[in-house]
Structure 1
Amino acid sequence: MAKRFTKPTINWKELDKLVPPNQRTNFLAFKAKSDNYLRRVQANPPELPKIDWKKYEALVPVAGLVEKFKKEYEGFKVPYPEDKLLSATIDEQWKALQPEIKAYCDSAQKDIEVATKKLEKIKSLPKFEDMTMEMFYDLYPNEALDPVNRPTFWPHDEESQLGYEEKKAKIDAKEAQTKK
């Protein structure tokens, strides 16, 4: 007889941590089905009930019929499926992938650390409502307006500044020079 499962082999707590919020209802439905199946299996006895063959021999008038059934019943074996996928090769492939998985996890952890540092830096800034132009200039000198060293005109974009030439005009001028 095959091995009887007495408890779930799935670590539901760890799996629960990995489920995204939008898939939570599907996960709970799957867990309920799995638990229901396990309860149904455990409700039955682990072994098949024993048959009282002598009782049936006394009740059945056809000679040899009960003996024939007994012989076939005891000779019947439920075939256990053979491993056609070669689990050993799958295990070897899994072991071969472990360094790759570890390297990916390490690089992802480094990315997480960089993002966490950036997030901490952003959280340490004053709120947008509380920040003054001087604070912004001190924090981001390259992005802030600098009327003394880099004066600009409203709306402070490239096209509105003195000395701006359209990019298309520059390209046309270069093409004209190369043709001559």
Structure 2
Amino acid sequence: MASKRIAQSAVNWTSLAERVPAGQKAMLTAFKTKSDNYLRRVLANPESPPKIDWSFYKGRVAVAGMVDNFQKQYEALKIPYPADNYTSQVEAQAQKGMAAVQEFVKASNGRIAAAQAEVAKINAMLPYSEMTMEEFADAHPELSISSTNPTAWPHTPEDQKAAENVEHH
């Protein structure tokens, strides 16, 4: 009976626990315990207030009209169930988050495809230990020593900067 009013907001704790990092499991357990305590307290109360036997009180109370007045006021009293103002905001935020996740997944898949293409290219190459200098120059023209890319001995980047400064003066 009381579970009908809670069923809409039930949390899937197993699914939530799968997404929580290992370092935050204790906080999730504490949160679940607190939530379960609140749920127990809500379920301990009846869904609707108990019915009052007004005829019993009319026979016992000597003041005329007092019980009728209380009955009228009691039945007129309506305590509204709190309005749900946040579910739509949370769902909108979740949709925005899912859109960002989908965009990230799409971008990541593009990076993965590019990395796999690079790995396939490297795997298709001849190992450096088996390459000749000409094969290395064909594979990496930007790194090779050639007439279009001359370098000074010992061909290290630091020494090339020094050689450029000397040549320009």
TM-score, normalised with respect to structure 1: 0.54
> Which structure has the higher relative contact order (CA within 8 Å, separation 6+)?
2
Are residue 30 (structure 1) and residue 59 (structure 2) matched?
no
User: How many equivalent residue pairs?
Assistant: 139
Structure 2: runs of 5 or more not aligned: 117-125, 134-152
- Cα 1:162–1:104 change in 2 (3 A) is closer
- How far, CA to CA, are the matches of 2:31 and 2:14 in structure 1? 14
Partner of 2:104: 104
Query: 1:64-100 CA deviation, whole Å, 9 max, x = no partner?
Result: 222121111111111344566693x876786677555
Confirm or deny: 8 A CA contact 1:56 1:66 kept in the other structure. yes
TM-score, normalised with respect to structure 2: 0.56
1:3-14 alignment, distance < 5 Å: 4-6=5-7, 9-14=10-15
Partner of 1:127: none
- How far, CA to CA, are the matches of 2:20 and 2:78 in structure 1? 41
Are residue 39 (structure 1) and residue 40 (structure 2) matched?
yes
- Cα 1:37–1:24 change in 2 (3 A) is same
Partner of 1:173: 166
Paired residue type of 1:64 = G
The DSSP-based 3-state class of the residue aligned with 2:6 is: coil
RMSD: 4.3
Partner of 2:20: 19
Paired residue type of 2:102 = K
Structure 1: runs of 5 or more not aligned: 118-139, 150-160
Compute the displacement of 1:21 (Å).
0.6
Higher helix content, 1 or 2? 2
Confirm or deny: 8 A CA contact 1:8 1:38 kept in the other structure. no
- How far, CA to CA, are the matches of 1:24 and 1:110 in structure 2? 33
